[in-house]
């Protein structure tokens, strides 16, 4: 009899403990909020439209309320996505969009909907987009169709009002237009991105930023050239750095770095107005690469402060200056530095 009572007691304890244990597991699972786009019907063969699956998964991701919500896009899969927008605001302030696989845009012939952007995140705070995968805009057809004409082409990846954004560890390929754009985003950290497009591709900027603040871009750089650029018929008013070329823009780049971007055939013509800084013309180039064929023509920039004079500074620059105020004598030698006017206070 006593053994039977012990058995009944054990059974009762087990029955009461089991739901509690399941509750603990379920609660832990909810707090992790780790989702996989494959569980929402994505195929990942690069041919099937996976946009509906991504939007369905985003609905659950954005609706998650506890912990960090993560959507995994698995590696070794290629996901064809038509133009789509991942909209917030979301319940969680920690949203992780983890791209380990490859996202590809539809070809130009099958494009439907908005042509101004491909993948867009809107009003999502605390968004993290990373994972080591790639985003391929399939831009060649757009470039061939549009050439250098001003026809509508989509930005590959667009962020609007995504405060606290962290974008890292991704490869961006062949966007039809600019690869990444930030609009009205604050406190953004961008690191370790690889952006690749052919040199003849039109307007395939890496990152375009507008109406945003506190933007940090790290671990970016490279070699190449910028040439055949003209700035003409410009009026500046109380402007900081009205005319500036800085081949050493990245403070970490050494002054003799051979991989600096080669700058040549740059023309400033018919530029007038006032400068907030007495240093109105600043041409700073590397010793090993330098800047060549720089032309200043019909320049007249005075100080916003009537009691001060503007001056120029340049290093390692070759070019000409005609009818230019302030005077730019350093262009004649190409390697000297122009001094400010006598008595000018530093």
Q: Is 276 helix (H, G, I), strand (E, B) or coil?
A: coil
Does the residue 24 lie in any domain? no
Any domain includes 4: no
What is the CB neighbour count within 10 angstroms for residue 104? 19
Distance in angstroms (rounded) separating the CA atoms of residues 86 and 118: 11
pLDDT at 162 over 50: yes
Residues 62 and 210 in one domain: yes
- pLDDT attached to residue 286: 85
**What is the domain extent for residue 37?**
29-218
Which helix (DSSP H) or strand (DSSP E) does residue 170 occupy? strand 166-173
**Is the same domain home to 42 and 85?**
yes
* Shared domain check, 161 and 102: yes
- Considering the domain boundaries, does residue 9 fall inside one? no
- Are 201 and 92 in a shared domain? yes
pLDDT by residue (tens digit) across 122-153? 999 999 999 999 999 999 999 988 866 668 89
Of the residues 199, 218, 237, the one at which a domain ends = 218
Q: Report the alpha-carbon distance of residue 185 to residue 172 in Å, rounded.
A: 20
Residue bearing the bigger pLDDT, 52 or 253: 52
Asked, for residue 12, whether it belongs to a domain, the answer is no
Residue 184 has pLDDT above 90, yes or no: yes
Beta strands in 197-278 (DSSP E): 207-210, 213-218, 225-239, 243-246, 262-275
- Mean pLDDT over the full length of the chain: 84
- What's the CA gap between 167 and 108, in Å, rounded? 27
What is the spatial distance between Cα 220 and Cα 208, in angstroms, rounded to a whole number? 14
* Residue bearing the bigger pLDDT, 29 or 191: 191
Q: What is the pLDDT of residue 332?
A: 62
**pLDDT tens column, 98-125:** 999 999 999 998 888 789 999 999 999 9
- Both 85 and 184 in a single domain? yes
Query: What confidence tens digit (pLDDT) does each residue in 54-105 have?
Result: 999 999 999 998 788 999 999 999 999 999 999 999 999 999 999 999 999 9
75 shares its domain with 158: yes
């Amino acid at each position: 009899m006593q053994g039977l009572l012990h058995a009944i007691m054990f059974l009762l304890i087990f029955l009461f403990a089991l739901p509690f244990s399941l509750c603990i597991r379920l609660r832990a699972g909810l707090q992790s909020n780790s989702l996989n786009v494959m569980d929402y019907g994505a195929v990942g063969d690069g041919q099937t439209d996976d946009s509906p699956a991504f939007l369905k998964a985003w609905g659950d991701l954005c609706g998650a309320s506890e912990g960090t919500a993560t959507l995994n896009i698995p590696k070794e899969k290629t996901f064809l996505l038509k133009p789509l927008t991942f909209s917030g605001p979301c319940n969680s302030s920690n949203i992780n969009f983890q791209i380990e696989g490859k996202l590809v845009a539809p070809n130009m012939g099958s494009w439907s909907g908005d042509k101004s952007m491909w993948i867009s995140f809107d009003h999502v705070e605390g968004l993290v987009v990373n994972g080591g995968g790639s985003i391929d805009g399939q831009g060649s057809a757009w470039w061939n169709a549009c050439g250098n004409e001003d026809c509508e082409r989509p930005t590959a990846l667009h962020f609007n009002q995504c405060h606290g954004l962290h974008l890292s560890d991704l490869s961006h390929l062949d966007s039809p237009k600019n690869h990444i754009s930030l609009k009205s985003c604050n406190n953004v950290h961008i690191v370790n991105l690889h952006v690749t497009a052919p040199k003849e591709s039109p307007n395939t900027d890496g990152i375009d930023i507008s109406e945003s603040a506190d933007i940090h871009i790290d671990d970016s750089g490279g070699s190449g050239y910028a040439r055949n650029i003209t700035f003409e018929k410009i009026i500046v008013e109380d402007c900081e750095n009205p005319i500036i070329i800085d081949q050493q823009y990245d403070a970490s780049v050494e002054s003799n770095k051979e991989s600096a971007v080669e700058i040549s055939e740059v023309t400033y013509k018919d530029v007038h107005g006032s400068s907030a800084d007495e240093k109105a013309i600043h041409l700073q180039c590397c010793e090993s690469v330098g800047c060549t064929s720089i032309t200043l023509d019909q320049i007249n920039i005075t100080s916003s402060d009537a009691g001060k004079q503007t001056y120029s500074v340049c290093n390692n620059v070759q070019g000409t200056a005609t009818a230019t105020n302030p005077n730019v004598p350093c262009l004649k030698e190409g390697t000297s530095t122009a001094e400010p006017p006598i008595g000018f206070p530093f």
